[in-house]
Structure 1
Amino acid sequence: MDLRRLEYFVAVAEAGSFSKAAAVLVMSQPALSQQVAALEQETGQRLLNRTGRGAEPTEAGLALLAHARAIFELAERARADMRERQLIPSGRITIGLPPRVAHAMTADLVERFRAEFPDAAISVEEGLSIRLREWLVAGRLDVAVLFDPPASPLLSIETVARESLVLMASTPLPSRIRLAEVAALPLVLPSKPNSLRQLLESEARPRGYLLKVVAEVDSIKTVLSLVARGVAATVLPASAIREWTHSTPPFMAAIHAPVIRNRLCIAVPKARPATRLSRSLVQLTRELCVQYYGDAVRVRKP
Structure 2
Amino acid sequence: MATLRALECLIAVLDAGSVTEAAARLHMSQPALSHQIAALEREIGTSVVQRLPRGVRATAAGRAIADDARAALAAAERVVRVGRGVATGAQGQLRIACAETMTAGLLAPVLRSWRRRHPAVHLTLHEMTSAEALSELVATGAADIGIGPRPTRWDGRLEVIGSEEIVAVAAADLEPPTTFAELAEQPVVHYHPDNGLGAWLDEIAAASGVTLDAATRTRQATTAAQLASAGLGIALVPMSALTATFPRTVRSLRPRLVRDVVCLTTAPEDALVQRFQAEVRRRGVPVPAAITAQLRPRD
TM-score, with length taken from structure 2: 0.62
Partner residue, 1:190: 191
Counterpart amino acid of 1:265? V
User: Partner of 1:277 in structure 2?
Assistant: 272
Q: Over residues 220-241 of structure 1, what are the superposed CA-to-partner deviations in whole Å (9 max), with x where a residue is unaligned? A: 3432332232121111123433
> Deviation of residue 294 (structure 1)?
11
Question: Identity rate of aligned residues, in percent?
Answer: 19
Q: Deviation string for 1:122-155 (max 9, x for gaps)?
A: 21111123222111111011101121312422x1
CA distance in 2, matches of 1:136, 1:163: 22
Alignment of structure 1 residues 93-172 onto 2, 5 Å: 93-128=94-129, 129-153=131-155, 155-170=156-171, 171-172=173-174
Question: Does structure 1 conserve the Cα–Cα contact (< 8 Å) formed by 2:170 and 2:229?
Answer: yes
Paired residue for 2:251, among 250, 253, 273?
A: 253
C-alpha distance in 2, partners of 1:150/1:86? 32
Query: Per the alignment, in what secondary structure is the counterpart of residue 121 of structure 1?
Result: strand
Matched, 1:287 2:282: yes
Is the Cα contact below 8 Å between 1:168 and 1:227 reproduced in 2? yes
Amino acid aligned to 1:297: T
Matching residue within 262, 268, 282 for 2:265 = 268
Matches of 1:273 and 1:163 in 2, distance apart? 24
Amino acid at match of 1:286: R
Q: Which runs of no fewer than 5 residues in structure 1 stay unpaired?
A: 1-82
Separation (CA, whole Å) in 1 of partners of 2:268 and 2:262: 19
Q: Distance in 1 between matches of 2:147 and 2:290?
A: 18
CA distance in 2, matches of 1:219, 1:85: 35
TM-score of the aligned structures, taking structure 1 as reference length: 0.62
- d(CA) in 2 for partners of 1:146, 1:294: 21
Q: Please provide the CA RMSD for this pair.
A: 3.0
How far 1:108 sits from its partner (Å)? 2.0
| Separation of aligned partners in 2, 1:101 and 1:286 | 14
CA distance in 1, matches of 2:95, 2:117: 16
1:216 equivalent to 2:217? Answer yes
Spell out the pairing of 1:176-187 with structure 2 (5 A cutoff): 177-187=178-188
SS for the counterpart of 1:280 is helix
Separation (CA, whole Å) in 1 of partners of 2:288 and 2:195: 19
Q: Deviation per CA, 1:231-280, whole angstroms, max 9, x where unpaired?
A: 211111234331x643xx21122111x432122111111xx352221101
